[in-house]
Amino acid sequence: MYHYDEYDRALVAERVAQFRDQVSRRLSGELSEEEFLPLRLQNGLYLQRHAYMLRVAIPYGTLSADQLRTLASVARDFDRGYGHFTTRQNIQFNWIELEQVGDILARLAAVDMHAIQTSGNCVRNISTDAFAGVAADELLDPRPLAEILRQWSTVNPEFLYLPRKFKIALCSASEDRAAVMMHDIGLYLYRDGAGEMLFDVMVGGGLGRTPILSQPIRKALPWQHLLSYVEAVLRVYNRHGRRDNKYKARIKILVKALGIEAFAREVEAEWEHIKNGPAELTREEYERVAASFQPSEYPLQPAVDLAFGSALARDAEFARWVQRNTLAHKQPGYVSVTLSTKPGADMPPGDVTAEQMEQVALMAERFGFGEIRVAHEQNLVLPDVAKADLYALWQQACAFGLATPNIGLLTDVIACPGGDYCSLANAKSIPVAQAIQQRFADPELLQDLGEISLNISGCMNACGHHHIGNIGILGVDKNGSEWYQLTIGGAQGKQSALGKVIGPAFSAEDVPEVIAQLAEVYREQRQGTERFVDTVARIGLAPFKARVYPAQEVRA
């Protein structure tokens, strides 16, 4: 992972001092809440229903074991013993005292971490594939360019007060595991025939109350122009994006209003001025950053591992977990392991206790190179596990509630914190997620249903990405009570699609049974190995609607 130098450390240390000063001026009344608001947001601090929430940046979802231990210590010493991993590969702490934020940030700075720009109308954490650098289907490692982009967008003075938040994601594998098409800027990175790195640039994606998938704006951009091209997009957006209505301020609305061709012309005209200037990346800089991401020395593994093979044959539970929770690795004899943070009723999706974090840090050291990834599905990934170690790892993960064999299955629910914490929410997310997980607790049924993504957002701001879930659940408020609107057919990745609403909303208690009925329709209608989302695409919404709504309600 990236190693800080004295510049990186100085910036983070100065930022802690600066924010301590801002907090003390707020506490003394020198700063009004209105003046303080954007300052605290740009340091990751939200005011929620019960307390402040601090969102800590985990750049492109990569953590060291020591960093994870520090997060555990923050959870233990400043929160209620747990943290919540987010769909932007960050972590948030929900029970924070304003007076203690300076101390928390100082503790994070000691391990090269910060909370800069995890909120606010600025460029947010750069995200990428949780399996970057190790996945077998990767074209090249996106992390050096993600880090270069992270640095360039950090406290970039011109772009700290954009019309609205701005999210950038990169992907450079055959499968898009970074949800690139729902980002303000999405970057697909690959090599040309001569081995040079190129980008296909997408722009104008975003969820929220007007969900839009991004559109291609430029093909085959040479990597040296990454920063200048992103700068051109940001400058056009900063100058022309709407500021009169918060819900129409994302770049997707500007792109839609101008049309992609006209927007692209504006960007190209701006880019002409800057593309061959000092922002052009140098090979030296690329290599300086890439040096931090050199592959580790992988001890050679035997071609055939009899102990592993016999454990698979002997222990069906283990075999199920290996099948569901591991991903093919570049290196023979290794896999990447996903530790599920979705055990069901015991813990809300994405919540991890301090003790679990410390255990994961130990596992990362014992079964890998001391590195952990956060997936945007809110799970934790150990990227480099020898197959020979899987059985021992699995036993340890089981002991700490991190081995639920449900990655990619219906109970691997993505959910925002919802009305239990968030003051924006219309409805709770967590109890609904847990009720669904309980309804599908039978592992045989779950396996049989195969890959289904289920996403829950407590309001139309869509932090749970409900639009791109195969099944999406949106909390809505009807006359002061909480209801849930269902969509089906959404998908992330290169085949991204927005789900379609199936009909009137349901009460919380009806949701699990309605999901079960949708699953039944799929089981009856599927052909061969067709996934849920493929069946929806083939047969449309009607058979699903017919099952979950009595006839008269469908007409209404």
Partner 1 sequence: MNNLIRLTEHGPELIRDDGWSLALTEGETVAGPRILSLDGWLQCQPAAVLGGLVPSADAVCLQPDDEAERLQPYLAVLPLIAVLFPSFRDGRGYSQAYLLRTRIGWTGELRAVGDVLRDQLSHMRQCGFDAFAVREDKSVEDAIKGLSGMSVLYGRSAIEPRPLFRRRTSEC
The contact set with partner 1 (CB under 8 A) reads 3, 5-8, 10-11, 14-15, 18, 22, 30-31, 35, 38-39, 121, 148, 151-163, 227, 235, 238-239, 243, 273, 277-279, 281-282, 284-285, 288
Residue 24 or 481 with smaller CB distance to partner 1: 24
Comparing CB distances to partner 1, the nearer of 36 and 391 is 36
Tally of CA atoms within 13 A in the half-sphere of 264 that contains its CB: 12
Taking the complex as a whole, how short is the minimal distance between the CB of residue 34 and partner 1, in angstroms?
9
- And the tokens for 116? 């800069």
Min separation Cβ 162 and partner 1, Å: 6
Minimum Å gap between C-beta 151 and partner 1 is: 4
Q: Which is nearer to partner 1, 243 or 545 (CB)?
A: 243
CA dihedral 464, 341, 148, 170 (to 10 degrees): -50
Which residues, other chains included, contact 399 with Cβ-Cβ below 8 Å and sequence gap of 6+?
none
Tokens matching residue 473: 């659940």
Nearer to partner 1 among residue 14 and residue 317 (C-beta): 14
Q: How far apart are CA 364 and CA 72, in angstroms?
A: 15
Is residue 548 within 8 A of residue 514, CB to CB? The reply is yes
Taking the complex as a whole, the smallest distance from the CB of residue 284 to partner 1 amounts, in Å, to 8
Helices 65-78/101-109 angle, 10° precision:
170
3-class secondary structure for 477-525?
Answer: EECCEEEEEEEECCECHHHCECCEECCCCEEHHHHHHHHHHHHHHHHHH
Least distance between partner 1 and beta carbon 245 (Å): 14
Min dist CB 52 to partner 1, Å, is: 19
Question: Of the candidates 257, 126, 275, 250, which has an alpha carbon nearest to the alpha carbon of residue 189?
Answer: 126
**Alpha-carbon gap, residue 465 to 460, rounded angstroms:** 9
* Nearest to partner 1 of 126, 511 (CB atom): 126
Cα distance between residue 514 and residue 504, in whole Å: 12
Considering the complex, state which of residue 150 and residue 183 has its C-beta at the smaller distance from partner 1: 150
Interhelix angle 6-27/101-109, rounded to 10 degrees, is 180
Q: Which is nearer to partner 1, 23 or 187 (CB)?
A: 23
Residue 284 vs 444, nearer CB to partner 1? 284
Judge contact between 183 and 202, C-beta under 8 A.
Answer: yes
Establish how many alpha carbons lie within 13 A of residue 165's alpha carbon, considering only the half-sphere containing its beta carbon. 22
Identity of the residue, 270 or 371, whose beta carbon is nearer to partner 1 in the bound complex: 270
212, burial (CB in 10 Å: exposed 0-12, middle 13-18, buried 19+): buried
**Token pair listed for 375:** 């997936």
Closer CB to partner 1, 160 or 362, in the complex: 160
Q: What count of residues does the chain have?
A: 556
- Comparing CB distances to partner 1, the nearer of 285 and 530 is 285
| DSSP string across 112-172 | T---TTSSSSSB---B--TTTTTBTTBSS--HHHHHHHHHHHTT-GGGSS-SS-B-EEEE-
291-325 burial code (b ≥16 CB/10 A, e <16): eebeeeeeeebeeebeebeebbeeeeebebbbebb
